[in-house]
Amino acid sequence: MRLSAKTEYAAIAVLELARNWGAADPVRIRSICAAHGVPSRFLVQILLQLKGAGIVTSTRGAAGGYQLARAPAQITLNDVFRVIEGPDELITSITADLAGRSRSVSVLLDAWRDVAAKETAAMEGVTFATLVERSRTTTDPMYYI
């Protein structure tokens, strides 16, 4: 699986918002950018996309920023991935171009669909609550870079 920078930044932003779940004040874009090196112009666009999908909410004004629209336990990696990347384009394009050409192609398409389903199931199994917990309990020094 390859992740675009946009998907990676979206997951970072949602994880940062999840870490601040329940806080009185929303999280400001500049604090996410400063903590994680995400370009602010890019992050603004990503957060607008996540807002349109109902994953985050925003508050305007001097004390404004972003918060999760629902609890971190209710948001999965797949939710964020699909908002940014859309439906599984690889399988859709292969199916449209090759479907029905031969038995070998059909078998291969079935394998690609199986892989995609397992990938989706794996991402569905990881909530942002789980990721917050992992980030708080890990002793791996790479998590702190």
Contact between 33 and 43 (Cβ < 8 Å): yes
Q: Is the dihedral of CA 35, 37, 38, 41 positive or negative?
A: positive
Per-position b or e across 59-84, b if 16+ CB within 10 A of its CB = eeeeeebbbbbeebeebbbbbbbbbb
Q: What is the pTM of this model?
A: 0.84
Q: Convert the pLDDT of each residue in 15-64 to its tens digit.
A: 999 999 999 999 999 999 999 999 999 999 999 999 999 999 999 988 89
Q: Convert the pLDDT of each residue in 94-137 to its tens digit.
A: 555 665 667 787 788 888 888 888 999 999 999 999 999 999 88
Going along the chain from its start, the domains and CATH numbers come out as 5-144 (1.10.10.10)
- Written as six digits, the tokens of 81 are 């991935």
Q: What is the Cα–Cα distance from 32 to 14, expressed in whole angstroms? A: 10
How remote is the C-alpha of 84 from its chain's centroid? 7
